[in-house]
Every structure is written in structure tokens, then in C-alpha cells.
Amino acid sequence: MIKLLTAGLAVAAVAAAAAQSPAIPGLDITVTKLERAASASLRDCPPGTNTVSAVTKPGEQFALVTVSFKVGPAFKPAPMKRPTVTDAADKSYFTPSQFVDVASMPEYSCTFPFRVPEGTKLKTLKIENASLDLAALDK
Amino acid sequence: MEIDRRAFIASLGGPAVVAMMDHEAKAEALEHYMEDKLDEMVAAQQPEKFPTVAEIEAQIETRPFRRGTGSVFTGQRGQNVKIITPMPAKPTLNDFFELRFAPANHVLQSATRAMKTGMSEEIILACLLHDCVLSLIKPDHGWWGAQLFEPYIPEKSAFAIRYHQTLRFYPDEEAGYEYPDQYYRIFGHDYQPPQYIADTYKMLKNHKWYMEPRLVTVNDLYAFDPNAKVSIEPFTDIIGRHFKQPKEGLGYDNSPSAHMWRTLARPDNPL
């Protein structure tokens, strides 16, 4: 009886978590585009007009992941880690772009560059605890 | 092609101007705008051709000064130098920021980013000071910069300033540092750092303070924004806590780098 009750509570907790908005309360995150390029502008998020870029070496490319953000009243500003992406084999790749002043605008879009070997198929974008599917965009 | 309506209207002189245009003029203006945008997009897709080391060396005799000359000693874009404001009798770091390092946008942007991303005060200070010595001299600016500030700042900040120069040549994706395209432009795309830089990098990779100069490079990369609005004001407390301002004024305290401050103060002295 106790076991059943515990199991029931666990199911309820999972359902509640799933019903909550994403992993970052008050921050609505949507991946809008995934492109490949030989160079990438190095801009933070939200983006300014930094003029520095990076270029790829032979055999590499930049996967440019564009993400739109909507900041709601429930969002509590705090330093956020840089996003990462994983490929089909769960290998992680890092972006140099950092979150700076996330709550400074209600709505914006950022493009995060990831240096990957040419042809790498990406599976997931991770921003803090949020995990967003990239496979559908990476055709 | 997506058209940014507001940018298009602004390019014509604003809504009032557009309101006075007939349909044919508007259609023509739109066509020209789209042609220009298309040209920009095509140009952006062409990979930039970076110079070689040999091509950069070939430019040496085209200049009346050497590239390593500190900026207080040269005029802007080949023009004559101007009379500079004398320093106060007992100059402070803020005086040097205002009268010799100005406009200092790059270091202020770099330190602002370090502050906003929650880095330590030693790193914020290192970012604020990391390129100031370029007013005095450019080659080996990491070592010269550390030497200039070392008597007055925490050891970690001086370490970060000294070695950021080395780590600028070595990407570290996990730390968020990419090799910048501007280095292909200013050093040449086939540039190889000299042996002493390679040896210093080897030492740093295993150093317990590796991340101190690395974080300076990470912020360095993102501090070239011509539209960023920055000032030294937000750093007043950090300077107060970590910069040992000598009561005699910088340059007059007999520190090992006092002569460097005096040179910055009076760059027109012939001897």
C-alpha cells in the first residue's frame, strides 16, 4: 500500500514538473534556425555589435544555432552558463558566446556558433537545464 | 529576401519622406534597396582573403613609424601629434585613464563584460588594465603591462595581464575562446607564434592559475563593439579595493615601474 502511494506521488510529481514551463522559469526559449558557415560573428546574447569573427580551418564548419528568447515577469536574472550542443554520439561542443544581461530586453534572438567537424549531425542544444531538439532542424 | 521595413524606411529618410513619394518612386526605391542588400549578402558570403606574414612585412617601409610604437607617441592615421593635457602633480590611475589611455573603450568593454558575467574582482581589474600599456609600447604588451601595474595590484591580476598575450594565440573552445579573425589580419594567416610564446603556453597549460589569463582573453574577444556605451564609473570600488594608489602619485613613488608612468605622463620629453 505504501509502495503504491509512493509510486502515485512520484507520478504526480513528474506530471507537475512536465506541466511547468521550461527548465528556466520565465524564459521562453525556441530554436528557430540551424545553419552551417565558414565564419561566425562573435557576439554575446542578447547580441551587440561586436566586430570580431572567427573562421574555420579545413575540415571544420560552424554550426550556427539561432534561438529566440522571450523574457517573462517570472524570470529571475542570474548568471547563465554558455550553451552547448551534442551530436548523435553525445559528444559536446561549446560556443564562445555568453549570456550577458539576459533580462535587458523582453524579446530577442541570438545566434550561437559551434565549431564542429564538417558534416556533424547535431542532436540537442542545452541551455542551463533546458534541452532543445536540433535533430529535426539538422537535415 | 527578407526586408526590414523600418531599416528600409529609414534608408529613404524616414516615414515623412516616404509619405511624399508616389507608388512608382516607392517601388523603384524598394528595388534599389533590395539590389544593395543582395550585393551585401553576396559580398558577405565570399571568404575574406587574409594577408600573409610576408605581405605584412612588405608594408613596414610604407609607414613613418613602427607598428610597435605606443599610441601616445603617434598621430591618429598618419596625422601630426597634438599637444596633450599635462598630468596633475600626483596623478592617479583615473587621471591616466582620462588623460593618457582614453578613450580606452576596449578595456572598459572587456571589464564590463567580466563584471556582468560574474567574474572575480581580480579578473575584472585585469580586464580593465590588460591593454592600457599599448599607449606606451605594443610588442610584448602582456609582459610590459604586468610590469607597469605589478607594484599596485594583486598578484593574480598581474599574472592574468602578463599571460593573456600568450593565450590570445591559442584557442580554448571549452573556456569560450576562439582565435580571432583580426589576428589573421594583423599577424598574417600563416603566422606562427615565436618559440618563447609556445614555451610560455606550455608552462601555462599546467599552471594552477591558467584560467586567470584565459578569462582575460575570453572577455578580450568580445570587447570590440563600436556602439557599446561604457565608463570607468562602475569600477571605482574595485579600483579602490585592489589598486594601491601611491600617495606621491603614479610615477613619483620610486616603484620599479615609476619611470614607465613618467614616460606616459611626458611623452614629448626628448631624453
DSSP string, B70-89: -GGGS-GGGPPP---PPPPS
Query: Which residues are within 8 A (CB) of B32 and not within 5 positions of it... i.e. 6 or more apart?
Result: none
Neighbours of B216 (CB within 10 A): 31
Give pLDDT, residue B40.
63
Q: What is the DSSP letter of A130?
A: E
Test A100 with B177 for CB contact under 8 angstroms.
Answer: no
Low-confidence ranges of chain B (pLDDT < 70): 1-3, 6, 10, 36-46
Residue of A nearest to B115 (CA): A100
Question: What is the average per-residue pLDDT within A107-111?
Answer: 96
Test A79 with B184 for CB contact under 8 angstroms.
Answer: no
Structural domain spans, chain B: 5-45, 71-265
Nearest to B249 by CA among B73, B94, B18: B94
Give the residue from B178, B187, B219 with the most A CB atoms within 10 Å of its CB, the best one to mutate: B178
Give pLDDT, residue A24.
86
Q: Give the full edge-to-edge strand order of the sheet including A122-127.
A: A92-94, A84-87, A122-127, A130-133
Distance in Å, alpha carbon of B22 to nearest chain A alpha carbon? 35
Neighbours of B211 (CB within 10 A): 18
Nearest to B180 among A44, A54, A79 (CB): A54
Task: Using alpha carbons only, give the angle A114, B174, B106 rounded to the nearest 5 degrees.
Answer: 85
What ipTM did this prediction achieve? 0.80
Distance in Å, alpha carbon of A82 to nearest chain B alpha carbon? 8
Residue of A nearest to B179 (CA): A54
One of 1.10.3210, 2.30.30, 2.60.40, 3.30.750 is the CATH number of B71-265, namely: 1.10.3210
Interface A-B, measured as beta-carbon pairs within 8 A, has a size of 68
Distance in Å, alpha carbon of B159 to nearest chain A alpha carbon? 23
Q: Which helix H or strand E contains A4, and what residues bound it?
A: helix A2-19
Task: Classify B107 as helix, strand or coil.
Answer: helix
Give the residue from A55, A60, A111 with the most B CB atoms within 10 Å of its CB, the best one to mutate: A55
Please list every residue in chain A whose beta carbon sits closer than 8 Å to the beta carbon of residue B116: 100-101
Banded pLDDT at A109 (limits 50, 70, 90) = very high
Nearest to A49 among B113, B182, B227 (CB): B227
Give pLDDT, residue B42.
58
Banded pLDDT at A95 (limits 50, 70, 90) = very high
Structural domain spans, chain A: 23-133
Query: What does the pLDDT look like over A16-42, one tens digit per residue?
Result: 333 333 578 899 999 999 999 999 999
Give pLDDT, residue B240.
98
Fold of A23-133: Immunoglobulin-like (2.60.40)
Give pLDDT, residue A17.
30
Give pLDDT, residue B252.
98
Query: What does the pLDDT look like over A6-15, one tens digit per residue?
Result: 333 333 333 3
Banded pLDDT at A137 (limits 50, 70, 90) = confident
The CA distances from residue B245 to B109, B129, B222, B239, B240, in Å, are 23, 14, 29, 9, 8
Give pLDDT, residue B99.
97
Give pLDDT, residue B45.
60
Nearest to B173 among A53, A100, A115 (CB): A115
Query: What does the pLDDT look like over A52-90, one tens digit per residue?
Result: 999 999 999 999 999 999 999 999 988 899 999 999 999
Tell me if A60 sits within 8 A of A77, measured CB to CB: no
Residue of A nearest to B114 (CA): A100
Test A52 with B173 for CB contact under 8 angstroms.
Answer: no
